Structure 1
């Protein structure tokens, strides 16, 4: 997936870096310690994300710093910056922005594939299933993974604001295929208004599905 395609998922000024996995990427000592017990693929994903994130942050003038995750494993960004990380199979992508331009970002990239029935049961709400059945047959195979990816992107965007957990069934999507846009709406009562309903964009290419959500400053 082209970096320009990923950047176009977001409404504000962002920097995107993406690459196949970089298993030999150099890390800070504390980053190495954080991931030393992980399996090789997880180490490659972690290292790739940190190298790409530092490259993207440097383009915005951010300092070269360690990017060890928080205890809940969510990304920690330098003060004044925000971002999001995604990886699938052998690919990693990172998007960053200045916090004054974008309050929070959510990026998700998935391999283009059919979502298995068990996962569809977890991910799709009843209304989403009804919508899926109304779509053109040629589109139906990719729509469940698109919904999965869009919900992941929404979750990544809202989490730095709320610190709250949501199940797939707590979020319902309205997708506009022709415009490449969607709206995510939280069904759970009492969710903070700032992130209870957010719009996003998506792109589908021959190999991958990408979704982006941004929360703009007040």
Structure 2
């Protein structure tokens, strides 16, 4: 979990665990949301809610249902913001008080080679040229890091803009040695508040973890 804590500089609480069925711990509204889902999906959904309530409790929040909105994005209690992510058998949640952090984006991915057929979909031409210039021994695992960084950025910007972006709309400048990146929207007319955001990534325990935060002004 320390890998995730290191992703954020703002006052953020994180919780993480392996996936498990948690149907009995869900509110009725939450159970109704996944009652027809397969066991794996229920485990993803339930584990995320258990972890989110645990993290929110550390900030003083009372336990409440966390049912996604019509756009499938998490709806956080008034006064809080957060982000959820899961991969094959792991789930992580990051939450913060909205008076300190305006928005968060967290993504976790199993460390793996991205299918070559996806490279042109995920990476911009500039990113593909950058990839080819990297040392051959690290090159195979960099695309999944770029993928995860874009996912984390997207999750952070979405509550601000409610706008959808394709992978090609976001271009990254990444520093593998420092574990940092900057995401820049190359589509014209995007909100200045999130058009360029910095983030961090950590590779640990067979996963890549990426985080992006938008602190409140003056926080």
What's the offset of the Cα at 1:172? 0.2
Which ranges of structure 1 fall in alignment gaps of 5 or more residues?
none
Q: Paired residue for 2:160?
A: 161
Equivalence for 2:202: 203
For each residue in 1:171-197, what CA deviation from the matched residue of structure 2 results, as whole angstroms up to 9, or x when unmatched? 000001111000000000000000000
Alpha-carbon displacement from aligned partner over 1:80-115 (angstroms, at most 9, x marks no partner): 100000000010000000011111000000000000
Is 1:28 aligned to residue 35 of structure 2? no
The equivalent residue for 2:13 is: 15
Q: In the aligned structure 2, how far is the partner of 1:212 from the partner of 1:14? A: 11
TM-score (norm 2): 0.97
Please tell me the root mean square deviation across aligned C-alpha atoms, in Å. Answer: 0.8
> Given that residues 3 and 204 in structure 2 are in contact (C-alpha distance below 8 angstroms), is that contact kept between their aligned partners in structure 1?
no
Q: Secondary structure at the match of 2:101?
A: coil
Shift of residue 24, structure 1, vs aligned partner: 3.2
Task: Quote how far apart the aligned CAs of 1:49 are.
Answer: 0.2
SS of the residue corresponding to residue 143 of structure 1 reads: helix
Corresponding residue pairs, total: 216
Q: 1:206, CA displacement in angstroms?
A: 4.3
Partners of 1:73 and 1:104 in 2: CA distance: 17
How far apart in 2 are the matches of 1:183 and 1:190?
18
Distance 1:201 1:4 in 2: 13
Distance 1:206 1:139, change over 3 A: farther
Q: CA, structure 1 residues 78+132, in 2 after alignment: closer, same or farther (shift >3 Å)?
A: same
- Do residues 182 (structure 1) and 217 (structure 2) align? no
Note the alpha carbon deviations across 1:129-163, whole angstroms, 9 max, x for none.
Answer: 00000111111011000000000000000000000
Question: Tell me, what secondary structure is at the counterpart of 2:139?
Answer: coil
User: What residue in structure 2 maps to residue 6 of structure 1?
Assistant: 4
Dislocated runs of 4+, deviation >2 Å: none
**Cα separation, 2, equivalents of 1:60 and 1:209:** 26
Distance in 2, Cα, partners of 1:103 & 1:10: 13
Q: Which residue of 1 aligns with 2:116?
A: 117
* d(CA) in 2 for partners of 1:18, 1:58: 14
CA distance in structure 1 between the partners assigned to 2:53 and 2:134 by the alignment: 41
Q: Whole-Å Cα distance in 2 between the matches of residues 161 and 16 of structure 1?
A: 21
CA–CA separation in structure 1 for the residues paired with 2:173 and 2:137? 19
Alpha-carbon distance between aligned partners in 1 of 2:192 and 2:116, rounded to the nearest angstrom: 33
The alignment partner of 1:156 has SS state of helix
